[in-house]
Amino acid sequence: MSGDLERETSELLRDLVRLNTVNPPGNERPAQELLAGMLRDAGFEIDLLGRTDERPNLVARLRGSGDGPTLCLLSHVDTVLADADAWQRDPWSGDVVDGELWGRGAQDMKSQTAAEVAAAVALTRSGWRPAHGELLIVSVVDEETGGDEGAIWLTENHPDAVRCDLLLNEGAGTVFNYGDDRFYGVSVAEKGVFRFEVKTDGVAGHASIPALGQNALLKMVPLLQALGERRTTLDVTDPPLALLAGLGLPVDGDPAGAVATLREADPGLAAVVEAMLGVTFAPTQISASEKINVIPSQARLQVDCRMPPGMAEEQVLGRIHEVLDGHDGYAIEVFETKVGNASPLESPLMDALRGWITREDPQARVVPTMIPAFTDSRTFRAAFPDCVAYGFFPQRKMDLHEMWALVHSHDERIAVADLGFAARCYRDVTKELLGG
């Protein structure tokens, strides 16, 4: 029967890819109607809840006979845009070529939507119902532009419809190698965002006689250099410590040393792990004089800063001043923050995922990861503080490096075998956690 599940998941993904949900504008209703119809026929209670008619969120519920946890399989059905000219194939074809299904959303994340829904339908068709607790299938709109009409709107306006104890979402799960070992990451945490502006002041003057002015742009140079070159004291949290331990790197109070060892073997992986261990700064935008012949009296530098979960604003500001220590004549203004967020490293959900990988891919191990970006897990963790939310979509044909090159890029595609792999995972883990 496993072959059936793979085929059904692949056909559903093809149908979803063919429904263009590029956001903006999203236009997710046809995709949500397709999923709602399948889940309704399978015996789920269906709610389509949205701020507007064109963009409903789908909530499908299957109640069990006894008390127990609510398990939510979450995904989003909108995608980023696709520049068809840059693709080798039509981004909305859903074509299967050499065992890979092509199209926008094949990785991020209609594949997971398809696997979650196909698994749920296959379970109920066989007569399964939760023995305890309940199963929720939730597919939201509007993730790619922040979730104002999706996860945020849904958890604020219909919290009772989507309240859950255990949640599986996007964020990790693609296999990667380190040394002779294979690993599947489970995303347990997300870094926060702390975007700020650095301002320097000078005195305007005619550019033909530079010495008569004070150039604010030149005052920015040492600050820019410090932000680019210096490193802050690490702010170490449990997920990267557990990840390093899982990779077999002795941390022993010296995470920087463990990262240095990792860098010798795999610089790319080391860069990712290092970003999990502390506050990072990426200066990305700068502005100064508006005229070529006027020495600027003010310069402004925008910095995209990310911090590990659990850090308060004061602590992050402390790290900024640490990096800029020894310099003066600048001011800091914070203009956008999002807190980092995390779930416990250990839980019945982690046990189930670890057990499943151990059975399916005995050579491999499961490790926790922290992602530097944010997903809808952030919104669910904030709305339901007791909810254990993980990012996990297992893939083993394509590895992490291959996958990252395709997400939000051209020629996005996925191995059909991995669609079956992921759907079996969701089917088996659901049964294990809800019984029946």
For residues 60 and 109, which CB has a smaller minimum distance to Zn ion in the complex?
109
User: CA-CA distance, 371 to 381, in Å (whole number)?
Assistant: 15
Minimum CB separation from Zn ion for residue 327, in Å? 39
Minimum CB separation of residue 210 from Zn ion in Å reads 49
Nearer to Zn ion by Cβ, of 311 and 371: the residue is 371
- Residues near Zn ion (CB under 5 A): 108-109, 170
| CA dihedral for 400, 406, 411, 412, sign (positive or negative) | positive
Which of 8, 134, 142, 143 is catalytic? The answer is 143
Minimum CB–partner distance for residue 75 and Zn ion (Å): 8
143 part of the active site: yes
CA–CA distance, 280 with 188 (Å, rounded to integer): 19
Place of tokens 């104890």: 165
Position of minimal CB gap to Zn ion: 108
> Between 76 and 306, whose beta carbon lies closer to Zn ion?
76
CB 82 within 8 A of CB 175: no
40, 189, 230, 342, 390 from 375: Cα distances, Å:
27, 10, 29, 12, 10
Taking the complex as a whole, how short is the minimal distance between the CB of residue 142 and Zn ion, in angstroms? 11
Alpha-carbon gap, residue 18 to 94, rounded angstroms: 6
Alpha-carbon distance values, 422 to 81, 112, 359 (Å): 25, 8, 14
User: From the CB of 208, what's the least distance to Zn ion, in Å?
Assistant: 52
Task: Give the Cα separation of 113 and 78 in Å (integer).
Answer: 11
First to last CA, the chain: 19
* Residue 31 or 109 having the CB closest to Zn ion: 109
What does residue 395 show for φ and ψ, rounded to 5 degrees? -135, 140
| Residue 78 known to be catalytic | yes
Active-site hit among 8, 28, 78, 134: 78
Residue numbers annotated as active site: 78, 143
